[in-house]
């Protein structure tokens, strides 16, 4: 008789419940989150009939953590169940919404007993690709923190130091994450400090920031811009805002350093992976973007049986809702947000460079699709091609991927 295990995890302990095919409780126990607890769980599973030939599947509400890593290392099938799904399953058995750790563990076990085919087990990815996922996701988080810190600093500078933003804006929006910009702001956090700046100090700061060419001309331009007349706050308020700007600048510096270091580490690990040559053969995918895509896809070839499954996971495939005579086609909102964000960068980079991918994007635009819809369709198409190339072990061939076929664009409602 088959057995199923559910684990309701917590920070310091975990509740275990093992049930049989009829949903009856076989055993239960609370274990600690340490090696002793893992040993107790192993014994409990062994007593329930667990073996290497017929391992007991385990359901838990998280895909990460030391307990999950230990279970995956044993080769057991592990299912990560969304907590919202667990809450809905719980309501099937309790109208009063009663809840306890033991009941949740039994609910998790019952989920894979009844509906295991509707839930995705954790993929059997290699250790290398899982390490790439850690670095790529951390780098992506660092970039998001860098953007947030830059926006906060920019908003503050607009309130008391618009001359600084105007000096470094040029022909585009000010990029406060640039090393030269941060170096000058550290020297002159207020207009009062800027008036005391000399060309020599600015040039030295630019050199420390890594600038190698045109230093003297740029220093003179910066001095002229910072010395230009501008509206100013009262002295004490300006000084206080300058201290606040330095605090935000420290946060931005840390985010920039973290993003750069993690980018290099992720790229180094990505180059070691056997799929590196295939992934980077696609237009728009380089070391960093390719690492992000591979981190979310993984290298378990059985994870996505078809390209349609991968497209739905990435959110690039549209959703069709049909009821009677009403049909609505919209973009997918429930998706892997990290893969979708990497896919946007991938499609944009491919669309701005000459080649079949750009021609495909332009055909979609000419047929009436908006920019976002055309990019999403390009990402959807290339993601399917990537799935095929990874499954077949061949590099990207633009003559086959964007051959003489022309896709029929959707109507405006599908964009």
- Residue 403's pLDDT band, with cuts at 50, 70 and 90, is low
Helix (H) or strand (E) holding 323: strand 319-323
Percent of the chain whose predicted confidence (pLDDT) is above 90: 67
**Arithmetic mean of pLDDT over the chain:** 90
- Residue 170's pLDDT band, with cuts at 50, 70 and 90, is low
- Residue 382's pLDDT band, with cuts at 50, 70 and 90, is very high
- Residue 91's pLDDT band, with cuts at 50, 70 and 90, is confident
Q: Distance (Å, rounded) from C-alpha 202 to C-alpha 197?
A: 7
- pTM of the full predicted structure? 0.84
Phi, psi dihedral angles at 350 (to 5 degrees): -70, -30
Amino acid 50: pLDDT: 86
- Residue 103's pLDDT band, with cuts at 50, 70 and 90, is confident
pLDDT higher than 60, residue 164: yes
pLDDT in tens, 7-55: 999 888 899 999 999 889 999 999 998 899 889 999 999 898 888 888 9
For 31-67, letters b (16+ CB in 10 Å) and e give bebeeebbebbeebbeebebeeeebbbbbbbeeeeeb
Q: Distance (Å, rounded) from C-alpha 76 to C-alpha 160?
A: 59
Amino acid 49: pLDDT: 86
Amino acid 414: pLDDT: 43
- Residue 174's pLDDT band, with cuts at 50, 70 and 90, is low
Amino acid 415: pLDDT: 40
pLDDT higher than 70, residue 408: no
Question: Torsion over CA of 236, 240, 242 and 243, rounded to 10 degrees?
Answer: 140
pLDDT higher than 60, residue 171: no
- Residue 96's pLDDT band, with cuts at 50, 70 and 90, is low
Amino acid 412: pLDDT: 47
């Amino acid at each position: 008789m088959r057995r199923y295990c559910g684990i309701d995890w917590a920070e310091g302990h975990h509740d275990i419940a093992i049930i049989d095919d009829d949903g009856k409780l076989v055993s239960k126990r609370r274990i600690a989150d340490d090696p002793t607890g893992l040993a107790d769980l192993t014994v409990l599973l062994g007593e329930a009939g667990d073996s290497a030939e017929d391992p007991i599947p385990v359901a838990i509400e998280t895909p990460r953590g030391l307990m999950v890593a230990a279970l995956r290392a044993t080769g057991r099938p592990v299912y990560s169940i969304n907590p919202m799904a667990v809450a809905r399953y719980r309501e099937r058995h309790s109208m009063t919404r009663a809840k306890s750790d033991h009941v949740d563990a039994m609910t998790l076990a019952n989920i894979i007993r009844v509906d295991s085919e509707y839930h995705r087990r954790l993929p059997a990815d290699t250790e290398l690709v899982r390490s790439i996922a850690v670095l790529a996701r951390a780098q992506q988080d660092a970039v998001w923190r860098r953007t947030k810190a830059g926006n906060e600093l920019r908003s503050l500078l607009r309130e008391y130091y618009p001359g600084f933003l105007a000096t470094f804006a040029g022909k585009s929006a000010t990029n406060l994450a640039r090393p030269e910009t941060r170096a000058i702001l550290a020297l002159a956090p207020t207009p009062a400090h800027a008036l005391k700046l000399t060309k020599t100090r600015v040039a030295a700061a630019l050199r420390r920031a890594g600038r190698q060419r045109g230093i003297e001309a740029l220093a003179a331009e910066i001095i002229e811009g910072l010395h230009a007349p501008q509206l100013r706050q009262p002295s004490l308020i300006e000084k206080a805002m300058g201290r606040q700007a330095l605090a935000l600048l420290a946060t931005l510096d840390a985010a920039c350093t973290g993003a750069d270091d993690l980018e290099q580490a992720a790229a180094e690990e990505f180059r070691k992976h056997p799929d590196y040559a295939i992934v980077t053969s696609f237009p728009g995918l380089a070391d960093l973007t390719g690492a992000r895509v591979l981190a979310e896809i993984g290298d378990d070839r059985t994870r996505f049986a078809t390209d349609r499954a991968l497209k739905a996971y990435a959110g690039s495939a549209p959703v069709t809702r049909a009821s009677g005579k009403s049909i609505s086609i919209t973009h997918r909102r429930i998706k892997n947000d990290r893969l979708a964000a990497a896919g946007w960068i991938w499609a944009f980079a491919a669309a701005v460079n000459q080649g079949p991918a750009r021609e495909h994007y332009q055909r979609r635009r000419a047929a009436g699709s908006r920019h976002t819809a055309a990019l999403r369709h390009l990402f959807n198409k290339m993601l399917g091609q990537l799935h095929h190339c990874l499954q077949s072990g061949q590099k990207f061939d633009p003559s086959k991927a964007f051959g003489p076929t022309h896709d029929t664009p959707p109507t405006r409602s599908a964009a």
